[in-house]
Chain A
Amino acid sequence: MKTLENQQLSQPKITRITPKEWLQQNLFSTWYNSLLTIVLLAGISWGIYGFFKWAIAVAEWEVIKVNLPLFMVGRYPKDQYWRIWLIVGIISSFAGLSWGVIGRKAATLFTIPVLIVLGIISAISLLIPGAVPFKLLLILMVGLVVGNGWIGKQLGNKITTLGRWLSFGWFIAFLLILWLMLGGLGIKSVSTNDWGGLMLTIFMAVVSIFLSFPLGVLLALGRQSTLPVIKIFSIAYIEIFRGLPLISILFMGQIMIPLFLPEGMRPDRVLRAILGLTLFSSAYLAENVRGGLQSVPRGQIEAAKALGLNTPLVLALIVLPQALKVAIPSIVGQFISLFQDTTLLAIVGLVELLGMSRSILAQPQFLGDYAEVYLFNGILFWIICYAMSLGSRQLEKKLNTGH
């Protein structure tokens, strides 16, 4: 008995690994591991050395500096840039507000990782080449996010229904942004042919995912339906669009949609692209939502029916809220891949970020600056997509109400 007590009382041995032990365990545990480490180290240092040599001595960063506005907003008229800034301002404010409202229960919004991210963003805003007012505007945007985050937290604690109004607010904001981008009604109108760069990429991805959402949910429900005709239609749609390469659907969108419409009705190029992306991504979204639907236990449906709810109400009140919550991470994943897939529009002739880069590279003075431009593109895409996937992981943790 005594020995047992002693064992229970004895503290677990605290293992603190010295740097030397860490090296031994992780890099030099066996002879082949040591060999691998040395080879990898040599390779990495050779790569880093080569990269810096290139970046400092060979690369012509002029192409990025000169064309920064083109990369960001395409051929949007220069005297109308204030509208873009206003749009970024609206988005930052609403993002901050939503962040504050969602995180209203947390002790503090500004945890250490958040502060680090904000610091990095501010530092980047200050360090990128450009005019001083431009930098100040970027800092202002960060300020808007932070300020509205604080306001959102305070208001969210006082008015508990604010969360519901927020999505309505986003919708109004979207209409406002659309008006600011297109113009008309008192401000100079800008043709969609002048839209381009990162702005067009983000616009098309966001609009397509939102348009494909209702379609995707309907298709997913149709696929799960017990009505054979509806099931067959849904399956046929989903499987055909999932089996085709996106580029062929975009090609169809650009060339065949006008053929299928009455004469004289020829939608705008950007609209046709959005239509193609929507048709494509709704099929994938339907599969994501179906995953969510399948995760809802049958008992939930039976219980709801036993309470006397009819099928539409069962779906709307019981099944979909649970299914969509499960499906959110994969929907975010779908959005990330849609965001990357918008680059394919460069092939059908739209000047989104990659298309813009290609037309810049075709200019004689920037001929051959492929590495610089594509590296810049890659970094932009990487930052945005990585941030979104980090965000979705956080969301997943928050939504996880499992026991």
Chain B
Amino acid sequence: MVDQKNQKIPIWRDERFWRIALQVLAVVIFVGIAALLIGNLNRNLAQQGNNLGFGFLKNEAGFSISETLISYKPKDPYSQVLLAGLVNSLRVMILGIIFTTIVGILAGIASFSENWLLRQLNRIYVEVVRNTPLLLQLFFWYFVVFFSLPKPENKIELLGSIFMSKRGIAIPWPANTVTVWLGLLVLGMGGVVAVFIWRWRNQLMTEKAQSGQPQLIALIMMAIVSILIIIFALGWQAPKALATGGTEGGLNLTLELSALLVGLVFYTGAFIAEIVRAGIQSVPKGQWEAAKSLGLKSGLVIRLVIFPQALRVMIPSLNSQYMNLAKNSSLAIAIGYPDLYAVSNTTYNQTGRPVEVFILIMAAYLSINLIISLSMNLLNKTVQIKER
């Protein structure tokens, strides 16, 4: 045995020393840079006569925004206008995520179509959208497509209940009455019950080999009732054309909101289409063949065998696409839709408080992304293979 003393490693070759030294160094550098930057910031702000603080949020905002879902008047404080912006942002994100998923899945499935023409069209769509900037596409939708709508006096009428003009797109929408909310409540509860019946039916069919016929009939009845509720009990209000050129009733989507939504939906949809395509392709061919040889029709093959497996591959990428959509909704400022970022920008311009406004923006977008990420992870857990 060699003497213990001779084995002692010099300090500069001791990995344990370097591990600690490097981390201390990182902390020192970080603290140093942060101190330097914050010192500069304080000096610069003191020169401008500003102190950091969120007290300005209580001041009167004084500017109006073109659309809001919650009540907001220029007399309200900045906190209210920022909240209105946040609600507007969430509106775009939620609607955008729903529609882009639909467009993306349709386009992704279209790339497997037997129809050559449809496949080519789909490829053109994906390649054009993915190789041009989103902002350019938004400008295109807003200035070229939606801005070329006619003036309110000679608006386009579709099916007698949809009106399109420069003043916006009016669509039928339920009126805000008690019966509507009651109807929605019934529908929601019916949905929950339907899910339980569906599970129960599957259980009976797999474990007790029953036909599941009565449950199916119950489900069909429920579907018919809910369709009846949707059509008649929600009190849909079709917009009515006025002599002055405007419309009354229904829901009026502004051109800004429509252009932003359409732009985001088609942009993100192209990426989702590629994800769906890759996901479906990742399912081994043998799975198709096995399912077909069991006698399943191709629609059932996709729904029962291919899609559940493809979903596992797709969800992580879908998550980042949804997050991209949420972040990209901040481009609303370019076409004048008052989302959170646009409103904060005006707030900063009026108050001259970039640091505080930026902290608010950061907090809002980071928490939105966190929420999307967490819910997608939850979804991911439910679709993962449950191994025995």
**A, B: real partners:** yes
Binds A, one of B112-120, B243-251, B279-287: B112-120
A248 x B358 contact (CB < 8 A)? yes
B369 within 8 A of A: yes
Take A37-B115, A230-B23, A259-B41 as given contacts and tell me if A354 and B358 are in contact as well, using a CB distance cutoff of 8 Å.
Answer: no
Question: A259's contact among B121, B134, B329, B355, by CB below 8 Å, is which?
Answer: B355
Interface residues of B in 105-149 (CB under 8 A from A): 114-118, 121, 127-128, 130-137, 139-140, 143-144, 147
Question: B341's contact among A233, A245, A382, by CB below 8 Å, is which?
Answer: A245
Number of residue pairs A-B, CB distance < 8 angstroms:
144
Task: For A386, list chain B residues within 8 Å (CB).
Answer: 127, 131
Q: A263 to B333: give the CA distance in the assembly, Å.
A: 31
A395 within 8 A of B: no
Interface residues of B in 356-388 (CB under 8 A from A): 358, 361-362, 365-366, 369-370
Question: A385's contact among B23, B131, B137, B333, by CB below 8 Å, is which?
Answer: B131
B37 x A247 contact (CB < 8 A)? no
Q: A229 to B329: give the CA distance in the assembly, Å.
A: 34
Task: For A227, list chain B residues within 8 Å (CB).
Answer: 19, 22-23, 26
Residue of B nearest to A37 (CB): B117
Residue of B nearest to A254 (CB): B354
A187 within 8 A of B: no
Q: A374 to B132: give the CA distance in the assembly, Å.
A: 11
Q: A386 to B115: give the CA distance in the assembly, Å.
A: 25
Residue of B nearest to A378 (CB): B132
B331 within 8 A of A: yes
A244 x B139 contact (CB < 8 A)? no
Question: A229's contact among B27, B45, B117, B369, by CB below 8 Å, is which?
Answer: B27
Residue of B nearest to A380 (CB): B132
Q: A258 to B45: give the CA distance in the assembly, Å.
A: 11
Q: A247 to B133: give the CA distance in the assembly, Å.
A: 14
Q: A27 to B370: give the CA distance in the assembly, Å.
A: 45
Question: B41's contact among A226, A240, A260, by CB below 8 Å, is which?
Answer: A260
A259 x B114 contact (CB < 8 A)? no
Take A243-B366, A245-B327 as given contacts and tell me if A381 and B117 are in contact as well, using a CB distance cutoff of 8 Å.
Answer: no
A370 x B361 contact (CB < 8 A)? no
Take A230-B22, A343-B133 as given contacts and tell me if A33 and B114 are in contact as well, using a CB distance cutoff of 8 Å.
Answer: yes
1/0 per residue B179-198: CB within 8 Å of A?
A: 00000000000000000000
Interface residues of A in 25-83 (CB under 8 A from B): 26-27, 29-30, 33, 36-37, 40-41, 44
Q: A55 to B365: give the CA distance in the assembly, Å.
A: 42
Q: A251 to B344: give the CA distance in the assembly, Å.
A: 11
B354 x A256 contact (CB < 8 A)? yes
Chain A: minimal CB distance from B344 (Å): 8
Interface centre among A226, A343, A346, A381 (most CB of B within 10 A): A343
Q: A230 to B19: give the CA distance in the assembly, Å.
A: 10
Q: A272 to B137: give the CA distance in the assembly, Å.
A: 26
Chain A: minimal CB distance from B86 (Å): 14
A169 within 8 A of B: no
A381 x B144 contact (CB < 8 A)? no
A354 x B135 contact (CB < 8 A)? yes
A243 x B133 contact (CB < 8 A)? no
Question: A262's contact among B27, B40, B45, B362, by CB below 8 Å, is which?
Answer: B40
Take A259-B44, A260-B37 as given contacts and tell me if A248 and B341 are in contact as well, using a CB distance cutoff of 8 Å.
Answer: yes
Q: A255 to B353: give the CA distance in the assembly, Å.
A: 10
A27 x B115 contact (CB < 8 A)? yes
Main SS at interface, chain B: helix
Task: For A261, list chain B residues within 8 Å (CB).
Answer: 40
A36 x B118 contact (CB < 8 A)? yes
Task: For A251, list chain B residues within 8 Å (CB).
Answer: 345, 358
Q: A260 to B33: give the CA distance in the assembly, Å.
A: 11
Chain B: minimal CB distance from A84 (Å): 23
A315 within 8 A of B: no
Task: For B40, list chain A residues within 8 Å (CB).
Answer: 259-263
B328 within 8 A of A: yes
Residue of A nearest to B373 (CB): A243
B30 within 8 A of A: yes
Q: A243 to B319: give the CA distance in the assembly, Å.
A: 12
Residue of A nearest to B38 (CB): A260
Task: For B127, list chain A residues within 8 Å (CB).
Answer: 386
A377 within 8 A of B: yes
B47 within 8 A of A: yes
Q: A226 to B355: give the CA distance in the assembly, Å.
A: 34
Take A227-B19, A230-B22, A240-B362 as given contacts and tell me if A245 and B133 are in contact as well, using a CB distance cutoff of 8 Å.
Answer: no
Chain A: minimal CB distance from B230 (Å): 28
A396 within 8 A of B: no
A173 within 8 A of B: no
A40 x B37 contact (CB < 8 A)? no
Task: For B116, list chain A residues within 8 Å (CB).
Answer: 26-27
Q: A36 to B112: give the CA distance in the assembly, Å.
A: 15
A389 within 8 A of B: yes
Task: For B22, list chain A residues within 8 Å (CB).
Answer: 227, 230
Take A230-B23, A344-B135 as given contacts and tell me if A40 and B128 are in contact as well, using a CB distance cutoff of 8 Å.
Answer: no
Q: A371 to B15: give the CA distance in the assembly, Å.
A: 63
B114 x A381 contact (CB < 8 A)? no
B144 x A230 contact (CB < 8 A)? no
Interface residues of A in 260-294 (CB under 8 A from B): 260-263
Residue of B nearest to A36 (CB): B115
Q: A258 to B140: give the CA distance in the assembly, Å.
A: 34
Task: For B101, list chain A residues within 8 Å (CB).
Answer: none
1/0 per residue B13-49: CB within 8 Å of A?
A: 0010001001100110010000001001101110100
Q: A188 to B75: give the CA distance in the assembly, Å.
A: 54
A243 x B136 contact (CB < 8 A)? no
Chain A: minimal CB distance from B61 (Å): 19
A229 x B23 contact (CB < 8 A)? yes
Chain B: minimal CB distance from A273 (Å): 15
A244 x B135 contact (CB < 8 A)? no
A-B contacts, 25 listed (Cβ < 8 Å): A27-B117, A30-B114, A33-B114, A36-B118, A37-B115, A233-B30, A240-B366, A243-B365, A245-B328, A247-B330, A247-B333, A247-B341, A248-B330, A248-B341, A248-B362, A261-B40, A340-B134, A341-B133, A343-B133, A344-B331, A370-B139, A374-B143, A381-B132, A381-B133, A386-B131
Q: Besides the contacts A227-B22, A233-B26, A244-B361, what 20 more A-B pairs have beta carbons closer than 8 Å?
A: A27-B117, A33-B114, A36-B118, A229-B27, A240-B366, A248-B341, A248-B365, A255-B354, A256-B358, A258-B44, A259-B44, A259-B354, A263-B43, A311-B15, A336-B131, A343-B136, A344-B331, A370-B143, A385-B132, A386-B127
* 5 smallest beta-carbon distances between A and B, as pairs: A26-B116, A245-B330, A340-B133, A385-B131, A370-B143
